[in-house]
A and B are shown apart, each in its own frame.
Chain A
């Protein structure tokens, strides 16, 4: 079964530091996403990415966030200057189509900002 792979599984960082969360989507998928889930809360959309550009982003995805597909396989989320409230599980997802066919989540990165 194809998987979305995320690294690292857990990242601890000091407030104000930059972090990069990495994802390898399923190889034939064309649509890529980042979501986050603060402990005890619902899964929230951050950004969608298609054809090497952002399709849509949420209010959460401010100037401190950026995404990149630096090569043919990786998809990264960068947070430039982390805040305590950025502590959450971050999930990468990918899908075959815009209708969500095969929409699959990675195992997540737990980000802890101290």
Chain B
């Protein structure tokens, strides 16, 4: 069974601080890695995707991928109250025909 594991949280971070979200995956053949943000009752919204080992930065967000450790992370700098949501880690499986989601980490930014 291919799995994506995340700490369910909640993770509470003060406004302006760095939020760090982590994810591990079981399928070594996974090719693409995604972070989605999901507000309650809404659809997943793509924040970042990463294919290669290392860091990828986009504004306040940095995704980090370590394929050897099967580990993906998301850093959110200068956290804002609007960043409070559930963050879903997702990976394509080795056939790349679908995305497998983790159960999500609830992030709460306290003013």
Contact = CB atoms under 8 A, between A and B. Distances in A.
Q: How large is the interface on A (under 10, 10 to 19, 20 to 34, 35 or more residues)?
A: 20 to 34
Interface string B2-32: 0000000000000000000000000000011
A102 to B, nearest CB: 9
Nearest to A100: B32
Nearest to A49: B97
Contacts of A33: 98-99
A100 B92 contact: yes
Given A98-B96, A99-B96, A43 B44 contact: yes
A34 B110 CA distance: 35
Interface residues of B, number: 25
A94 B99 CA distance: 11
Main secondary structure of the interface of B (DSSP, over half): loop
Contacts of B96: 98-100
Contact of B97 (A43, A98, A105): A98
Contact of A105 (B43, B49, B98): B43
Interface stretch (B55-63, B65-73, B101-109): B101-109
A104 B98 CA distance: 13
Nearest to B6: A42
Nearest to B102: A42
Contact of A45 (B31, B42, B98): B98
A55 B95 CA distance: 10
Given A56-B97, A107-B42, 11 more contacts: A33-B98, A35-B99, A42-B88, A42-B101, A42-B102, A45-B100, A99-B92, A99-B96, A100-B32, A103-B34, A105-B44
Of all A-B residue pairs in the complex, the 9 with the closest CB atoms, nearest first, are A56-B97, A43-B101, A100-B32, A42-B103, A45-B98, A98-B96, A105-B43, A55-B97, A108-B43
27 contacts: A42-B88, A42-B101, A42-B103, A43-B90, A44-B101, A45-B98, A45-B99, A48-B98, A56-B95, A56-B97, A56-B98, A58-B98, A91-B43, A91-B44, A98-B96, A98-B97, A99-B31, A99-B51, A99-B96, A100-B34, A100-B49, A100-B96, A100-B99, A103-B99, A105-B36, A105-B45, A108-B42
